Structure 1
Amino acid sequence: MKLLVYSAKEYEIPYLKSAAKKEFKVTYTKDALDTHTAIQVVGYNAISIFSGDDASLVVLEKLWELGVRYITLRSAGYNNIHIKAAKRFGFKVANTPDYSPHAIAEHAAALLLAFNRKLILADAQVHTYNFLQEGLMGFNLHGKTVGIIGTGRIGSIMVKIMHGFGCKILACDLKPDMDLIELCDVTYCPLDELCRKSDIISLHIPLTYENHYLINAEKLALMKQNAILINTSRGAIVHTKELIKVLEEENLGGYCTDVYEKEKGIFFKDHSDDGIKDGQLKRLLSFSNVLLTPHQAFMTDEAMRNIAKTTFENLDCWEEGRKCENELGYETLIF
């Protein structure tokens, strides 16, 4: 099998090379997949893509015409690929759902702790030899009510982390986890109730048609004025324009995020010399109560090893005619 790896980062190539079997011919390109770079697949029957790659209908059509038959994603999320179109063409498509739920949940907790205890500001101040404590006030997590939206692989770990801090846990999910109810005293409730009662709200759901802009003006208006919203899922779950309005009106305590709804062309690149043109993102970053990281939650050694391993396991299954447990089908709903 000949594999072209799109959006290959220098830090991940060693992991992929270590996991690749000798029978695979692998080529790495730093280019993201789009309508222009699709031509690079000539001579390859498989590709690997990341969350910033474009696998829309028009791109998939080009890939199919050029001989690609297998697509393995190096991410759990798959909202960047038109699954139904891919299956209609005949592609085999799989993701990496279990690379490290702990990495994402731990990053969500890290965002919360860094924001609450003003660690970014404190670090900047002491590096200029300012050792005053003014402006560094936080609050105890113990006793606070934390709302977890989505208690699947990642959300369930976030529940356990927050339970360990002594927080009261509210949760919203289509399928309540009975183990979490028993072990962490989780109370499942409707989304509106969770928004009203939570001091901290953390998102752990995939981006689907149903939850695109799930956190909009209506839901934001329900939240406490000092509530902290955390997003390590997908940017478009939060309506950024309406979030900015709430932040401008000082009706939200803070927004901690590892994702942004319009990451394409911005994230995974260095714009420090030329800046960015996205006015909405610029405005979001102008708020002192916004903490944003560049989609790095997955970046742990363990996660990278698992992503590389699963990438080639998916391809192995298809080449050997075995069932691929991570294969995505028609029933998968995506945005």
Structure 2
Amino acid sequence: MRVVVYNIQDFEKETLAKANAKVHDLTLISNPLNLETLRYAVGKEVVIISHKDILDREILDALHNINVNKIITRSSTMDHIDMDYAKKLKFHVANTPDSDTSLESVAQQTIKNLTLWTQNECLGSSCQCGFSCNKDKTL
């Protein structure tokens, strides 16, 4: 998948790159996702954000308008994303809910989510999509 990772810190880059093992096309951006940095998401299928990136209606509309339809947050919390609006726009949203919040675990969960999406598989407990599907979310 073609992916842009926003708000990535230097100490996260190597861990995420190792977890990815050159499977997905990752563009790593240290800047937060906002209207000024949205240009890095053009042509991408997925944006990966941190808990510091606020995805309100304006940002979600902008992502939708450039045909990004998948979001992964490198956090277990979803309070920085307007999930009701994301649901309305039919975004696929995933988080990293594992109780192990180490850099390695978050990186592995993030890449696992991407890989499962490419295989059209259910993300299990990582799936935070606000719409129902015929897939079992209890994995």
Instruction: Tell me how far 1:87 sits from its aligned partner.
Output: 1.8
Partner of 1:309: 108
CA offsets per residue over residues 228-249 of structure 1, 9 Å max, x none? xxxxxxxxxxxxxxxxxxxxxx
Distance in 2 (alpha carbons) for counterparts of 1:22 and 1:33: 23
CA contact (8 A) 2:86 2:130 kept: no
Instruction: Tell me how far 1:90 sits from its aligned partner.
Output: 1.6
CA contact (8 A) 2:70 2:92 kept: yes
Determine which structure has greater relative contact order: mean sequence separation of CA pairs < 8 Å that are 6+ residues apart, divided by chain length.
2
Partner of 1:83: 83
CA offsets per residue over residues 226-270 of structure 1, 9 Å max, x none? xxxxxxxxxxxxxxxxxxxxxxxxxxxxxxxxxxxxxxxxxxxxx
CA offsets per residue over residues 178-215 of structure 1, 9 Å max, x none? xxxxxxxxxxxxxxxxxxxxxxxxxxxxxxxxxxxxxx
Partner of 1:44: 44
Partner of 1:114: none
Larger Rg over CA atoms: 1
- Post-superposition, which runs of at least 4 consecutive aligned residues in structure 1 deviate over 4 A? none
Letter in 1 for 2:96: T
Distance in 1 (alpha carbons) for counterparts of 2:21 and 2:13: 14
Distance in 2 (alpha carbons) for counterparts of 1:316 and 1:94: 12
Aligned-residue identity in percent: 27
Aligned residues: 130
CA contact (8 A) 1:99 1:306 kept: no
**1:17-28 aligned within 5 A:** 17-28=17-28
Partner of 2:119: 320
Distance in 2 (alpha carbons) for counterparts of 1:23 and 1:30: 21
Distance in 1 (alpha carbons) for counterparts of 2:113 and 2:89: 19
**1:213-292 aligned within 5 A:** none
Partner of 2:9: 9
Distance in 2 (alpha carbons) for counterparts of 1:57 and 1:33: 13
Distance in 2 (alpha carbons) for counterparts of 1:69 and 1:23: 20
**1:88-167 aligned within 5 A:** 88-100=88-100
CA contact (8 A) 2:91 2:129 kept: no
